[in-house]
Amino acid sequence: MKFSGKNVLITGASRGIGAQIARTLAQMGLKVWINYRSKPEIADALADEINKNGGTAAVINFDVTDEDEFIKGINLIVDTDGELSYLVNNAGITNDKLALRMKTDEFTSVIEANLTSSFIGCREALKVMSKKRFGAVVNIASIVGETGNAGQVNYSASKGAMIAMSKSFAKEGASRNVRFNTITPGFIQTDMTAVLSDEVKKAYVENIPLKRLGEASEIANGVAFLLSDYASYITGETLKINGGLYM
Ligand code: NAP
C-alpha cells in the first residue's frame, strides 16, 4: 500500500478495531496517533508494542465528545508533526434498549458520542488538510446504519447519519483534495460484541454468507486501502465489510 501522507489520528484506538487499525497503519509506515479516553496503560502498551516492532506511535488523551479537547488534540498533532494527513473516526459506543423504553437522553448521548464527535473530527480535519491540499478521512459507521436493528434506534441513527455526513463532507472536501469515505463493519469480534450471548452470535453467523464473525484486522485492511493512494479516486464511498450479511 502506498501513502503520500505521513501521519494518522485514530480515535478510540487503545482497544478493539481502533487498536488493530493503529497496528496495521503503523506496519504500513504511517506515524500513528493513538487516541484514548480512559485506561492510559492500555494505550501506552499498544504504543510500546508498535514502537518495538519498528513502527512509530504516540498516544493522545481526549474524550471525543469534548469539542475543545478534540480540537486541542488535533492542534497538538499539527504542532508536533507539521500536519495531519489522515483521520479515522473510530470511537463509538452502544446503549441498546427497545425504542419504547429508551429515554431521550439515552438516544442523544449515543448520537453525540458517535455522530457529533465524527462531525467535529471531519470539520477540524478538513480545516488542517485543506491548507496542504491533501488528506483523507475514514469514518467507521456500521451495518446497522444501513439496515436498522431492533434495540438500536439510537446507534443505527448515529451510524446511518455518519454515512450521509461523509458524503456531504466528500462533496465539500473534493475541491481541496481531501477525501471522505465510510466503512460499515458487520459483526466483528471485539469487546463490543463480546457481550452478545453465544446463542445470539450463532444466530448471526447462520445468516452471514461467509459463516463467521469478522476480525478487527479485516476492518483495518479496508481503512488502509481507503486512506492510501490506491484509493486516490474514491471519495464519498461506503465500503461494506460484513461477510456478505448485507449486500
Ligand atoms: P470497543 O471494543 O467497544 O472499543 C471502542 C473504543 O472507542 C474504545 O477504545 C473506547 O475507549 C473508545 N471510545 C468510546 N467513546 C469514546 C469517547 N467519547 N472518546 C474517546 N474514545 C472513546 O468497540 P469496537 O468494536 O472496537 O468498535 C470500534 C468502532 O467500530 C465503533 O465506532 C463501533 O461502533 C464500530 N463498529 C463495531 C462493530 C463490531 O461488531 N465490533 C460493528 C460495526 C461497527 P474506552 O476504552 O475509553 O472506552
Average pLDDT of the segment spanning 102-111? 98
What pLDDT digit, counting tens, does each position of 21-80 carry?
999 999 999 999 999 999 999 999 999 999 999 999 999 999 999 999 999 999 999 999
Predicted TM-score of the model (pTM): 0.98
Give the pLDDT of residue 192: 85
Residue 192 CA to ligand 1 centre (angstroms)? 7
Residue 1 in this model has a pLDDT that exceeds 90: no
Q: Which residues are catalytic?
A: 155
Ordered by start, the domain boundaries in the chain are 7-240
Atom 41, ligand 1: residue with shortest CA distance: 188
Share of the chain above pLDDT 90, in %: 96
pLDDT averaged over every residue in the chain: 97
CATH 3.90.1170.50 matches 7-240 = no
Q: Annotate the chain with DSSP letters as a single string.
A: ---S--EEEETT-SSHHHHHHHHHHHHTT-EEEEEESS-HHHHHHHHHHHHHTT-EEEEEE--TT-HHHHHHHHHHHHHHHS---EEEE---------GGG--HHHHHHHHIIIIIHHHHHHHHHHHHHHHHT-EEEEEE--THHHH--TT-HHHHHHHHHHHHHHHHHHHHHGGGTEEEEEEEE-SBSSHHHHTS-HHHHHHHHHH-TT-SPBPHHHHHHHHHHHHSGGGTT--S-EEEESTTS--
Average pLDDT of the segment spanning 152-175? 98
Residue 92 CA to ligand 1 centre (angstroms)? 4
